[in-house]
Amino acid sequence: MTIKTCICCKLEKSISEYHKDSGKKDGYHTTCKSCSCSRERKRYLNGKIKDKDLKLRRKYGISHNDYLEILEAQNGRCAICSTDVPGGKGAFHVDHCHNSGKIRGLLCHRCNVGLGHFQDKESLLLKAALYLSNYSDHTTSSD
């Protein structure tokens, strides 16, 4: 059994713990499979954060760190319903005024879609609230 030392973790491991690489003198990578996977995972996650940062900057003028600060200020919860489950694709939505572009907060998928269906019109939301209060059973409350 051939043994090789990983240049990353410095552990001696069986050659079967290395990916094949015809470009290397011995025919195997210099890092073990475990270290290679860890490095690729970190690279992938860093790329996802950079992609999210770029999208947030282009669309809303904020960085990923700004997004995290807003989320922390909201205690990791939706600004409307206070759920800690974002729903949708797994991240809270950046709610903003479509006229001014000003960011109002972060919303869960359901609250964001709800505001969208009411076209961000306060008058419609107030009418909906009045409608609900006129027809709701006042003996129970889910709030």
- pLDDT tens, residue by residue, 121-136: 999 999 999 998 988 7
CATH number for the domain including 82? 3.40.1800.10
At residue 138, the pLDDT reads 60
Task: Quote the domain boundaries for residue 114.
Answer: 28-135
Other CB atoms within a 10 A radius of the CB of residue 66 amount to 16
Taking the whole predicted model, whether its pTM rises above 0.75 is answered as no
CB-side neighbour CA atoms (13 Å) of 59:
14
Is residue 10 domain-resident? no
Number of structural domains the chain divides into? 1
pLDDT tens digits, residue range 10-64?
A: 999 999 999 998 888 889 999 999 999 999 988 888 888 899 999 999 999 999 9
At residue 115, the pLDDT reads 92
- Contacts of residue 11, defined as CB under 8 A and 6 or more positions apart, other chains included, come to 5, 32
Is residue 128 domain-resident? yes
At residue 141, the pLDDT reads 53
Is residue 56 domain-resident? yes
Is residue 106 domain-resident? yes
Strand, helix or coil for residue 50: helix
At residue 99, the pLDDT reads 85
